[in-house]
C-alpha cells in the first residue's frame, strides 16, 4: 500500500468519504486520492514523494502558483501579529478599497469566508433589495451548497449524481427557477411567467462547474437587458472568473456590468475568503447599515486578508502576467484540440483565458444537457493514466482545468505529450 492509501484508509473512519469536500474523494475516477503533503509553483507533492503538474490549483485560487514567496511572507508577518481579533482592521479596509477600485460596478464589498457564503448572502441581499422571492439559476451551474441553490447544481453535486440534494426542504427551493445556460429564451419564459417576482438571475459568467462552458455571444448582455426590463438584479458568481479572466474579472472581460458580484478563491490566495459587492444603494441594505442581516466571526480575517491582498496587489502591478498566461493557455488548449482531432477521439476541448476542459463526448458542449453526454468512465481512464504520468487534472469530468502563471512551457509540453500517448494507446 502507498502512504496515500494507508492515510486514506484511516481517513474514511473519521471523515465522511475520507474528505472534507466530495470532489477530492476521486470517487468518479475510481481511484484513491493522492494525499498531498506540499505544493510549490505548478507542482503538487504527495505523501509518497510523487510529483505532479497541478491543473486543479486548489480549484482556482493559485493563479500565481502554489506557495508564492510574497504571499507566504505576508501570511507569516500577519501571523506574528495574531491570527484573529474579531475587530475592524486596516488590512480589510485596504482589501475592500483595492477590489472597489478594480471592478467598476463594485462600489462597496463585504468579506465572508467562502464562495458559498458570498453567493448565499448576495441572494439574500437581492431579495431584500427587490422585496421579491424568486431567483433564476442555470442547470449545471454551481454556486456553493446553500439550500436554495442545490437545484440541478454542478461541480461535486453533478459528479456525485446528486444535483438536487437530500435534506433540502421544498420550502427552500420552491422559489428557485432553473433555466438553460446559453439559452436566453428559457430565461425570458421564466420572466414571462413571473414578471414581478424574480429578485435576481444568478449566473456563472463562464460556467466552470459542468466542465467549462463559454457564454455564447450576446448571452450575458441578454441577461443584463432582461434583468433591466423586469426590474431584477443580475448577480455574477465570479468565484472562479473573478481576477482570473482578467484583473476586472468577467465584467471587464465581457463588458457586462452586474448589479452584484460574488468572489472567492483568487481573492483569498488559498486562504478561506469570499466576498460579495455591488452598487452602493444595494450594499447599504446590509447590516449594520440596513435590514439585510449577514455576519461572520472570521470574515475579513487579518491573516486571510494579508494573503488575498498580496496576491491581488501582485496581479494589479503586473497586468502583463495575464497576457502571458492567456497566450500560454491559448497555445496549450489549441494544441490539445489538435491532438484530439489527430487521434479522432470522441472529445471536445472548451477553453477561455486560463480555464479549459477536455470533455469525452462527440457533442459540442454548450449547456448542462450536452455536458452530461460526456463519458465519465472514459474521463476516469484518462485521468488515472495522467496521474500515473505525474500530471494532475481535475479528478472529475465536470470541473475545470486551471492554468497558473507558474506552469512552464516544458510542463505544458509534457502534459500534451501525456494526452497524446493516452489517445494513441487507448485507440
Binding residues for ligand KE4 (CB under 6 A): 21, 23, 59, 114-116, 119, 142-144, 155-156, 204, 209, 237, 239-240, 264, 274, 399
Q: Give dist(CA 27, CA 396) in Å, integer.
A: 8
Task: Count helices and strands (H / E) in the chain.
Answer: 15, 14
201 by Cβ neighbours in 10 Å (0-12 / 13-18 / 19+) ranks as buried
Minimum distance between the CB of residue 427 and ligand KE4, rounded to whole angstroms?
31
Choose, from 52, 129, 142, 379, the residue flagged as catalytic. Answer: 142
Would you say 128 or 154 has its CB closer to ligand KE4?
154
CA neighbor of 355 nearest in space, from 382, 328, 321, 376: 328
Minimum distance between the CB of residue 155 and ligand KE4, rounded to whole angstroms?
4
Catalytic residue flag (residue 142): yes
Choose, from 43, 134, 137, 265, the residue flagged as catalytic. Answer: 265
335 by Cβ neighbours in 10 Å (0-12 / 13-18 / 19+) ranks as middle
Would you say 203 or 391 has its CB closer to ligand KE4?
203
Would you say 163 or 191 has its CB closer to ligand KE4?
163
Catalytic residue flag (residue 37): no
Catalytic residue flag (residue 265): yes
**Per-position b or e across 362-399, b if 16+ CB within 10 A of its CB:** eeebbbbebbbebbbebbbbbbbbbbebbbbbbbbbbb
Rounded-to-10 torsion of CA 116, 122, 124, 129: 180
Q: Give dist(CA 381, CA 378) in Å, integer.
A: 5
Query: C-alpha grid cell for residue 397?
Result: 469530468
Minimum distance between the CB of residue 1 and ligand KE4, rounded to whole angstroms?
25
Choose, from 43, 52, 137, 237, the residue flagged as catalytic. Answer: 237
- Residue 198 gets the label, from left (phi > 0), alpha (psi -120 to 50) or beta, of beta
Q: Give dist(CA 32, CA 25) in Å, integer.
A: 7
Would you say 92 or 117 has its CB closer to ligand KE4?
117
Q: Give dist(CA 55, CA 404) in Å, integer.
A: 8
Would you say 160 or 343 has its CB closer to ligand KE4?
160
Minimum distance between the CB of residue 398 and ligand KE4, rounded to whole angstroms?
8
CA neighbor of 378 nearest in space, from 389, 367, 362, 364: 362
Minimum distance between the CB of residue 162 and ligand KE4, rounded to whole angstroms?
13
Would you say 357 or 416 has its CB closer to ligand KE4?
357
Would you say 116 or 311 has its CB closer to ligand KE4?
116
Minimum distance between the CB of residue 342 and ligand KE4, rounded to whole angstroms?
30
Per DSSP, the residues of 116-164 read: HHHHHHHHHHHHHHHT--EEEEETT----S-GGG-SS--HHHHHTT-SS
Query: What positions carry a catalytic annotation?
Result: 142, 237, 265
Amino acid at each position: 500500500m502507498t502512504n496515500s492509501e494507508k492515510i486514506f484508509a484511516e481517513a474514511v473512519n473519521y471523515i465522511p468519504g475520507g474528505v472534507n469536500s466530495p470532489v477530492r474523494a476521486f470517487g468518479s475516477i475510481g481511484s484513491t486520492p493522492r494525499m498531498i503533503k506540499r505544493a510549490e509553483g505548478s507542482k503538487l507533492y504527495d505523501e509518497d514523494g510523487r510529483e505532479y503538474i497541478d491543473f486543479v490549483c486548489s480549484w482556482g485560487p493559485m493563479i500565481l502558483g502554489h506557495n508564492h514567496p510574497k504571499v507566504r511572507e505576508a501570511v507569516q508577518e500577519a501571523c506574528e501579529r495574531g491570527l484573529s481579533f474579531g475587530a475592524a482592521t486596516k488590512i480589510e479596509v485596504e482589501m475592500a478599497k483595492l477590489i472597489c477600485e478594480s471592478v467598476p460596478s463594485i462600489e462597496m464589498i463585504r468579506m465572508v469566508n467562502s464562495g458559498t457564503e458570498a453567493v448565499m448572502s448576495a441572494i439574500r441581499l437581492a431579495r431584500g433589495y427587490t422585496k421579491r422571492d424568486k431567483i433564476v439559476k442555470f442547470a449545471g451551474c454551481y454556486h456553493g451548497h446553500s439550500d436554495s441553490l442545490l437545484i440541478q447544481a454542478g461541480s461535486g453535486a453533478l459528479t456525485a449524481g446528486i444535483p438536487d440534494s437530500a435534506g433540502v426542504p421544498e420550502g427552500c427551493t420552491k422559489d428557485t427557477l432553473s433555466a438553460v445556460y446559453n439559452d436566453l429564451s428559457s430565461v425570458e419564459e421564466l420572466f414571462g411567467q413571473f414578471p414581478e417576482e424574480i429578485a435576481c438571475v444568478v449566473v456563472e459568467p463562464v460556467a466552470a462547474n459542468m466542465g467549462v462552458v463559454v457564454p455564447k455571444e450576446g448571452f450575458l448582455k441578454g441577461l443584463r437587458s432582461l434583468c433591466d426590463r423586469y426590474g431584477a438584479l443580475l448577480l455574477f458568481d465570479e468565484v472562479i472568473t473573478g481576477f482570473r479572466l482578467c484583473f476586472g474579472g468577467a465584467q471587464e472581460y465581457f463588458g457586462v456590468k452586474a448589479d452584484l458580484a460574488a468572489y472567492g478563491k483568487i481573492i483569498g490566495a488559498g486562504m478561506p475568503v469570499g466576498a460579495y459587492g455591488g452598487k452602493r444603494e444595494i450594499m447599504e441594505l446590509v447590516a449594520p447599515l440596513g435590514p439585510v442581516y449577514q455576519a461572520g466571526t472570521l470574515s475579513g480575517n487579518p491573516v486571510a486578508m494579508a494573503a488575498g491582498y498580496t496576491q491581488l496587489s501582485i496581479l494589479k502591478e503586473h497586468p502583463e502576467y495575464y497576457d502571458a498566461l492567456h497566450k500560454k493557455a491559448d497555445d496549450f488548449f489549441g494544441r490539445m484540440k489538435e491532438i484530439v482531432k489527430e487521434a479522432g477521439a470522441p472529445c471536445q476541448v472548451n477553453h477561455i483565458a486560463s480555464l479549459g476542459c477536455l470533455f469525452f463526448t462527440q457533442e459540442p458542449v454548450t449547456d448542462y444537457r450536452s455536458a452530461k453526454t460526456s463519458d465519465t468512465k472514459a474521463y476516469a481512464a484518462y485521468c488515472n493514466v495522467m496521474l500515473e504520468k505525474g500530471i494532475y487534472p481535475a479528478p472529475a469530468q465536470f470541473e475545470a482545468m486551471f492554468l497558473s502563471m507558474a506552469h512552464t512551457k516544458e510542463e505544458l509540453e509534457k502534459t500534451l505529450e501525456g494526452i497524446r500517448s493516452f489517445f494513441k494507446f487507448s485507440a
